[in-house]
Structure 1
Amino acid sequence: MSHCPPVQRVAVMTGSKIRSLVAGLALAMLWTAPSLPGAAQSEPVAALPATEGAQTSSPNLTRTDVDTWLDGLMPYALEDGGFTGAVVAVVKDGELLTSRGYGYADPDTGRRMDGAATLIRPGSISKLFTWTAVMQLKEQGQVNLDTDINQYLDFTIPDAFDEPITLRHLMTHTSGFEESVKDLIVRAPSPVPALGDYVKTHLPERVSAPGEVPAYSNYGTALAGYIVERASGERFDDYVERHIFAPLEMQSSSFRQPLPAELADNMSGAFKTRDDNASQPYELIPAAPAGALASTAEDMARFMIAHLNAGAGLLSPETANEMQAAATPFLPPLNTMALGFYQQDRLGVRAIGHGGDTVYFHSDMSLFPDHNVGLFISVNSQGRRPAQSLLLREQFASRFVERYLVGAAPKAAQPYQPEADNPGREIAGVYEVSRASATNFMALGRYLGQARITVDAQGRLHTPFLGIPAIWQPIAPDVWQRAGSTQRLAVSYRDGKVHQWAYEPASPFMVYSPPPWYRSSALLNPLLALALLVSLATVVAWPLAAFLRWRYQQPFPLTGHAALSHRLARIGLIFVLLFLMAWMGLFVTLASDIGKLTAASDGLIRFMQGAQIVLYGAMMATVWNLVTTWSGRASWPARLWSVLLPLAVGIVIWFAAVTGLLSFSLTY
């Protein structure tokens, strides 16, 4: 539902991260790198063909030229990326310039994509309709962007910080809610709960003070949609139909789930790749205001025209300008949030917009207000490689801007001579992302998603970027630019230490910050590897020693309490390893299929939450073994090993605590 969503990452783990997790467990995490996501991976093949040289002048932005350009570009992009179909719409000066369809909406029947007729799922671009509705109500005096949202609700958001959450916080993704992925997307025929029921039963914990940390929140948008219902007295889908769709004549758009019968026949199928023609079920989204829209490219064009034309038909010019202005300058000069829109400035051209993803549909909308131009693209499949759809959308928008709005290829980073010999060396380390779960078992994703920054002798930063390694060249104090791109990375400091950093295009809605020492994978990974090594060695040596005693007819050297504690300690370690393996298996299963992140999995999750008792049993058994070993006549190696056993269990408990595996919450 969101730009770079947890739908694909689970605060978005890619398949490669999950495989790394499984491999790391199988190898007992022996000295694993502190940043699994930063592991080197093969770079995806370019989603679009390379530009042949720099443009010296811009071709006229005409329908004929755009159609020719698109017809040469899009078939290649679909074939290379493994996408089944796509639609594109371009608007200019208040009119639809062109809408195009490529590939198939239904490969089995041969029905092709059509920009005018084929419905797609724009995912989190739906949020712009929610924010437009909020701004309409603000104009009418029905809501205030800076009032405690509890004033508009029939339930209470608990106090956690001195400052209350406001609609402005929701619109800029700075409410402070942790990530919420349960029931984000459910499969038919599961019923979609009423919006009010959803926001009351899926309330996430507040983990940061409002206004302080950008952290993308689907729940926050759903909450804003419920406020629209409460303030207007209309159901959310009714409100949008009457106050947004009707004025703009968006006759092929709907938030209703399931899709109304009169629109269903024109709905595109949803696919994994063009190599797999099996259409997937219609995705149902309980947090409807955050991502449930179905629409056509031409209907989306009507929405773009309205916002490019100072909100015509929807908002007053003053309100439209307020909605489009930058609102959260966390890390200048990076792109940031407006009121619902992302800043998406490209190649020096001012842009605002939004991205959107369901599991299968991937879309992007860019508005260029200074040129009165808008661009929309959506594909109906995941593509063959991780992050392929995001790569396509980013390159597509940049190529469009390069060709029609600036007429020049991206400029390389300008030479910059920093005062320090090695700028950025203090930035090297491990960081965790703000958009993550923190108080439940999905916090394991936050831990596994910690990103490592390294710095070379030239002051260049090396980070993971969309699942691949990236190099960032210094271009200004505390600002870097990605090689071969105009995307930037910036760092802020507090008390002389790194406070936050972010990179484009994700900078509007999430940042990275240093984890506390007890949650840092740089410390905990080696300790966990040692704990697992000690546990595995002990468990393997136990039957091996028994076999050798049997083979050479030697008696067991321990008796009484010493013998019992020895055996219980090893049984405890077996259960510790089984506990970790079971949790990892469950996490991988849930993270790889968002359709399983529902109440149907609560029983398994609850069982695993209860299974933490084995950790405490193992700790008691290993401590008892320590006492009996030291009170007997054991050798010094045996005594030292008996010390390692409770330490190993303690490290596992530490790991389980910081990754949420000891939480009893079923809200995640």
Structure 2
Amino acid sequence: MRILPMTAAAALAAGAVLLPAPAARAAAPLSAPAAAVRTGTAPTAALERTVDRAVADRLAADRIPGAAVTVVSGGRTVLAKGYGVADTASKRRVDADRTGFFLGSLGKLFTAQAASQLAVAGKVDPKADVNRYLRRAAVPDTYPGRPVTLDNLLTHTGGFDSDIVGRNRARAAQVEPLAEGLTERRPARVRPPGTLAAYDNYGFALAGEVVAEASGESFPGYLDRHVFGPLGMTGSTAAQPGPASITGSLARGYRPSGDSGWTRDLGQYGSWSPAGPGIVSTAADMGRWMRGQLGADPAARLMQRAHFRGDPRLPGLGYGFEEWRRGALAGWFKDGDIPGFHSNLLLLPRQHVGVFVVFNGDGTDGTASWDGKRVIDAVADALAPGAGAPAPVHRAVGVDAGRYAGTYRPARVSRHSLMKVEALVGSVTVRRDGGGGDGGGDGGGLVTDGLSLDPEHTVQHWVPLGEGMFQERGGTARIAFPGTGGVLVSSVMPSTAYQKVTWSQSPALHMALLAGGGGVLALGAVAYPVTALVRRVRRRPAHAAGARAARMAAALAGVVALGFAGAFAAVVGDGNAMMEMVPLGSPLLSVVTWLGATVVGLCAVVLAGAVTAWCRGWWTRLGRLALTATALAGAAASAVLLTYHLAVV
């Protein structure tokens, strides 16, 4: 087989994708040394080489079609550059000035800026009940005397349940008005406001409605006139559909498909646009926005102030921003993820530096979001060498680490929707480190699994700094257990706290019940038909109709359980595809919940049959025990399906 020409062609194609786009734009090289970044300058040529290497490595390693990076320093955009392609079919190159990218949750920063502008102007009070401003989407008074405020909405502490299933749309023309989207399928309030941070898309969408109501303008119109327009951000919009001058240059988002191809992602539009869907910007425009944020704008100063801390010893939340710390560096961070697009932004006010990175691909196993953070770290290290290194750790002794051991689930986990499944796969385990976390012998350290954002290093070891406070061994991240230790807060994700679960809420227990119960049901799918066939071949007398129906229900429950397992595996088997399925509300999700509901219904019939079998003496004792075991297994699996809303018609 002659494969060398094909291999050469593939190599050429890969090279074309990885080369910087011809339309890339960078400022003229500056002569100041690297340390001068603290005074507002940067060595552009060296910086460009650093970014080129970092981005090219990520595009190649993780199969991402394109990217754009912007760096501002000292009030200037010193680098704005596109890489790869914006459209894999046409091979259109990424242009830093013209190519628009969907920002996802990074668009929350524009919502926070709009709200902060109104607060500075005295048109809204961040500490007042938002119902003072909301006429079309008033918040229910679930907790009397504990109103939701704009401050809560902008710091993810409003206390709303999380449910984005089916909230997004494949095309902009399908998007309903903001107020309608807020009142249709309104999530419940599940905790008093201001108590815990739990990442909240609905809260930011409500904040956008506050902006619209208080200003008398539509949300997209307000951004055009008061955020994008004054900064000259002509390639940015929140309108759905957007102007032709912007939509004609949009990048397309992709996920890897097969060995070398890509599948286009959909689902970037939605009525909750203040939370991110539908918001578009270019790399050059984001440079303009970062320069504005690093200036003297009063609204920017309000955004870049800690308004909530899960623990007073850790970074907190500004308006839209998360506090960011790495060694001696301190700044403000935000990222955004929407099907096919992943963006990261960091401001370092003391160094007068801002960095923006965006990819138009999910990357292998969904690594694009982490890739953006890697690029930002590389830029920070280039501009401030050594400043991001971990500080020496002064290990505390006598810390009772064992009291913090257990399983913790994100506070954002839904209580009332299919998104509760996140608790099964997204929980964090904390255990005592027998070696003390740093080689010590008193067991004062901790080990966590599932907390790290780095997909290659999910297990972390933590050194005690004091009661309820730990630092990652060899790193800069910190975790804390405020109060009685039932809550875990992380320095790298202050927008979501983690709550300790009881043994009966343990995801490991629930997974065991689901797997074990499903396995027994699957066994019955084979055993009961075989038993009936053997009985018929041997010409045994037929059992009572009720007995036959009970065993038939058991066999059908096993068959449907196998179908459920297959459909569920199809949903979660490709994390990138699942990221599109959930916000779009894929029919496959409906298939999963319909099959789950069918399993529950059939298991109820089996349970009734088992009780009746003992009452009426069907079969032998062994036969009754077999059906009883099947019924109990089905009951266990059904309980898990119902708990996680996986059995809904």
- TM-score strictly above 0.5: yes
Cα offset, 1:325, TM superposition? 1.3
Please give the alpha-carbon distance, in whole angstroms, between the structure 1 residues aligned to 2:560 and 2:601: 12
The 5 Å alignment of 1:343-382 reads: 343-382=323-362
Alpha-carbon shift at residue 305 of structure 1 (Å): 1.3
Alpha-carbon distance, 1:371 to partner: 1.5
Cα deviation, residue 532, structure 1 = 3.1
Aligned-residue CA RMSD in angstroms?
A: 3.2
Aligned equivalent of 2:203? 220
Amino acid at match of 2:414: S
Q: Distance in 1 between matches of 2:87 and 2:193?
A: 45
- CA deviation string 1:81-132 (max 9, x = no partner): 3222221111122222221222222455554323233222222121111111
Query: The residue matched to 1:442 in structure 2 has which SS?
Result: helix
Comparing 219-228 with 155-164, greater Cα deviation is found at 155-164
Higher relative contact order (CA 8 A, sep 6+): 1
Amino acid of the residue matched to residue 535 of structure 2?
R
2:138 matches 1:152: no
Q: Which amino acid aligns with 1:471?
A: Q
Q: Spell out, residue by residue over 1:147-191, the C-alpha distance to the aligned partner (whole angstroms, 9 max, x if none).
A: 222222224322322312111111001111121213443212652
1:350 aligns to what SS in structure 2? strand
| Alignment correspondent of 1:37 | none
* Residue 486 of structure 1: aligned partner: 476
Q: Per-residue deviation at 1:499?
A: 0.9
AA in 1 matched with 2:45:
T
Q: For structure 2, which runs of at least 5 residues remain unmatched after alignment?
A: 1-32, 436-444
Match of 1:96 in 2: 77
Matched, 1:131 2:120: no
Match of 2:423 in 1: 446
Counterpart residue number, 2:261: 276
The aligned amino acid for 2:402 is: R
Deviation string, structure 1 residues 362-420 (Cα, Å, up to 9, x no partner): 1111111111111111112112x224212222222222223322535633763625315
User: Does 1:68 pair with 2:49?
Assistant: yes
Q: Structure 1 CA distance, aligned partners of 2:595 and 2:627?
A: 27
Matched, 1:308 2:294: yes
Quote the Cα distance in structure 1 between the aligned partners of 2:533 and 2:69: 69
**Does structure 2 conserve the Cα–Cα contact (< 8 Å) formed by 1:431 and 1:513?**
yes
Q: Which residue matches 1:46?
A: none
Q: CA–CA distance in 2 between the matches of 1:309 and 1:605?
A: 49
Residue number in structure 2 paired with 1:397: 376
Cross-structure match for 2:274: 289
Residue pair 2:70, 2:357 contacting (<8 A) in 1 also: yes
Map 1:193-342 onto structure 2 (within 5 A). 193-273=176-256, 275-276=260-261, 283-291=268-276, 292-311=278-297, 316=298, 319-342=299-322
Q: 1:176 to 1:394 in 2, by over 3 A?
A: same
Alignment coverage as a number of residue pairs: 591
Rounded Cα–Cα distance in structure 1 between residues aligned with 2:598 and 2:64: 47
Of residues 405, 414, 436, the one that matches 1:437 is: 414
Match in the other structure for 2:155? 172
Structure 1 counterpart of 2:644 = 659
SS in 2 for 1:573: helix
Q: Does 1:513 align with 2:499?
A: yes
Q: Which residue of 2 aligns with 1:17?
A: none
Partner residue of 2:488? 501
CA distance in 2, matches of 1:511, 1:193: 32
2:491 and 2:237 mapped to 1: Cα distance?
A: 31
Distance in 2 separating the partners of 1:156 and 1:136: 22
Question: Is residue 339–residue 362 contact of structure 2 (8 Å, CA) maintained in 1?
Answer: yes
Q: TM-score, normalised by structure 2?
A: 0.82
Q: CA deviation at 1:242?
A: 0.6
Question: Aligned residue for 2:395?
Answer: 416
- 465, 474, 494: which one pairs with 1:476? 465
Structure 2 Cα separation of the partners of residues 184 and 409 of structure 1: 39
Q: Distance in 2 between matches of 1:277 and 1:621?
A: 46
Which amino acid in the other structure matches residue 371 of structure 1? Q
State whether residues 173 and 220 of structure 1, in contact with CA within 8 Å, keep that contact through their aligned partners in structure 2: yes
In structure 2, relative to structure 1, the CA distance for the partners of 1:632 and 1:607 (3 Å cut) is: same
1:608-649 CA deviation, whole Å, 9 max, x = no partner? 559737635643543343343355386554454454344333
What is the rounded CA distance, in whole Å, between the counterparts of 1:57 and 1:263 in structure 2? 36
Residue 612 of structure 1: SS of its match in structure 2? helix
- 2:433 is equivalent to residue 456 of structure 1: yes
The amino acid of 1:500's aligned partner reads V
**Which stretch shows the higher mean deviation, 262-271 or 242-251?**
262-271
Residue 242 to residue 484, structure 1, CA distance change in 2 (3 Å): same
1:141 alignment counterpart? 122
Give 3-state SS (helix, strand or coil) of 1:215's partner. coil
SS in 2 for 1:392: helix
Q: Residues 298-322 of structure 1: CA distance to partner in whole angstroms, max 9, x if unpaired?
A: 21111111111121xxxx3xx4333
Q: CA deviation at 1:550?
A: 4.5
Alpha-carbon distance in 2 for matches of 1:224, 1:408: 36
Moved over 6 A (4+): none
| C-alpha contact 2:424 2:511 (8 A) present in aligned 1 | no
Secondary structure at the counterpart of residue 496 of structure 2: coil
Instruction: Tell me the SS of whatever aligns to 1:340.
Output: coil
SS in 2 for 1:164: coil
**Cα distance change, pair 72–486 in 1 and its aligned pair in 2 (3 A):** same
Q: Counterparts in 2 of 1:79-118, with a 5 A limit? A: 79-118=60-99
Would the aligned equivalents of 2:127 and 2:150 in 1 still touch at CA under 8 Å? yes
- Distance (whole Å) between structure 2 residues aligned to residue 140 and residue 655 of structure 1: 51
Deviates more, 1:175-184 or 1:238-247: 175-184
Secondary structure of residue in 1 paired with 2:143: coil
**Residue deviations 1:465-515 (CA, integer Å, cap 9, x gap):** 344532223141333344553222332342xxx311133422x21122123
Residues in 1 aligned to 2:319 and 2:585: alpha-carbon distance in whole angstroms: 36
Q: What residue number does 2:540 align with?
A: 555
Q: Which moved more, 1:390-399 or 1:58-67?
A: 58-67
Alpha carbons 2:167, 2:585 under 8 Å: kept: no
Distance, in Å, in 2 between the alignment partners of 1:404 and 1:526 is 49
Distance 1:115 1:107 in 2: 17
How far apart in 2 are the matches of 1:342 and 1:637? 61
Q: Tell me, what secondary structure is at the counterpart of 1:474?
A: strand
What's the offset of the Cα at 1:603?
Answer: 11
Give CA-to-partner distance per residue, 1:585-605, whole Å, 9 cap, x none.
555566634555578768984
Q: Distance in 2 between matches of 1:117 and 1:222?
A: 27
The residue type equivalent to 1:287 in the other structure is W
Give the direction of change, closer, same or farther, for the CA distance of 1:117–1:373 in structure 2 (3 Å limit).
same
| Paired amino acid for 1:418 | V
TM-fit CA distance, 1:440: 2.3
Q: Distance in 2 between matches of 1:598 and 1:68?
A: 38
Cα 1:268–1:530, aligned 2, differ >3 Å: closer, same or farther?
Answer: closer
Displacement after TM superposition at 1:272 (Å): 2.5
Alignment partners' CA distance in 2, 1:537 and 1:110: 52
- String of CA shifts for 1:529-578, please: whole Å, max 9, x gaps: 44334434444322332344345x3624x74xxx3343222223234345
Separation in 1 of the partners of 2:365 and 2:579? 16
Which residue is 2:22 aligned to? Answer: none
Structure 1 residues 48-75: Cα deviation after superposition (integer angstroms, max 9, x where no partner): xxxxxxxx98475232332233234332
Q: Which amino acid aligns with 1:251?
A: T
* Kept after mapping to 1: 8 A contact 2:149/2:158: yes
Tell me the distance in 2 between the aligned counterparts of 1:526 and 1:108: 45
Matched position secondary structure for 1:211: coil
Do 1:169 and 1:211's aligned partners in 2 also have CA atoms closer than 8 Å? yes
